[in-house]
Amino acid sequence: MVGFSVTFSNVLLMLLYLAPGFLLCKSKKVRPDHLSSISVILLYICGFCLYVNALYDLDPSPDLFRKMGLFLLFSLGGEFALMFLILLFLGKRKKEFRLRMMSIACVMGNVGFFGMPVVKALFPSVPEAAVYSSVFNTSLNILAWTVGVFTLTGEKKYISLRAAVVNPSVLAVMTGIILCLLQAKNWMPDLLRTGFGALASMSTPLCMIILGIRLAAMDFRTLFTTPLAWLISAGKLLVFPLFCWALTLPFPLDPVFRGSVLILAATPCASILLNLAEIHHNGQELAANCALLSTLLSVLTIPLLSFLV
């Protein structure tokens, strides 16, 4: 019951962060076309600090890096396996772009800005929980710019190994690991540590404010009356987390590892889905609907899944 109350209160708080963006957009103080600049700040500054902050303060040990490597295998394996099963189930219907997008949307979640605060609250005495969020985000980026892009386009020329590795999120994790190995917590000035922490703490509110602005600009009839968006949300919020959780059951893993897999897999659809849709000029409205609808529904699904932790 503790897990339910902790996850419910934290997810509800994140949904309340939607309100400022929604109200500012409705009152015409901000416009949706401002989002590109704000998103750059979120990704390149706040998000970078979020992942670095989760890693640099840890004590480096073989056990820590073993768990990180194992978590990468489980997260990447779960994403790839469910994508493959969905595409296999679709058969010839996978020629439809929106159904190919479904296979991606069901496995790509907001594991960083949304997932990290939840697992940190659920496991407050285990700093590795935040590390697992960073690792899951790394697997998401690797998948998105390789198998994900190929699934959407069907063309290998769009696969970008460089984008899979050289992007702010993965570079932030690599920076955090290097600082961890150098034991930066022993020599980094307090002023810099405070700065990293302050910018990191801005990530989740800023991410949700951006979603609030997008929500205000949308047609609610489209948001709540698109059957495929509901199907994708169900796949992302229920099927994928239970699938990943089931993958962990045959192995002797500690409860924090298994619980982090479940909760991070249960996060709403990631904004990277919208980025991919915009790059390839197809499915933008569906991607936005999935991100927003799954975010709203997660206030119920994540707390319910926490009973398994």
pLDDT at position 154 over 80 = no
pTM of the model: 0.93
pLDDT band, residue 1 (cuts 50/70/90): low
**Angle subtended at Cα 148 by Cα 142 and Cα 153, rounded to the nearest 5 degrees:** 140
pLDDT at position 2 over 70 = no
pLDDT tens for 205-236 read 999 999 999 888 888 888 888 899 999 999 99
Look at residue 274 in the predicted model and tell me its pLDDT. 75
Look at residue 246 in the predicted model and tell me its pLDDT. 96
Closest CA to 54 of 131, 110, 129: 131
Provide the CA 137 distance to its chain's centre, in angstroms.
6
Look at residue 72 in the predicted model and tell me its pLDDT. 95
**Bigger pLDDT: 304 vs 157:** 304
103 CB-near residues (< 8 Å, 6+ apart)? 83, 86, 87, 90, 94, 151
**How many beta carbons lie within 10 A of that of residue 76, not counting itself?**
18
pLDDT tens for 24-53 read 999 988 888 878 788 889 988 999 999 999
pLDDT tens for 182-210 read 999 899 999 999 998 999 999 999 999 99
What the chain holds in terms of domains, given with CATH numbers, is 2-308 (1.20.1530.20)
Write down the residue that tokens 């099927």 correspond to. Answer: 239
Closest CA to 272 of 43, 35, 14, 17: 43
Look at residue 275 in the predicted model and tell me its pLDDT. 74
How far is Cα 44 from Cα 167, in angstroms, rounded to an integer?
9
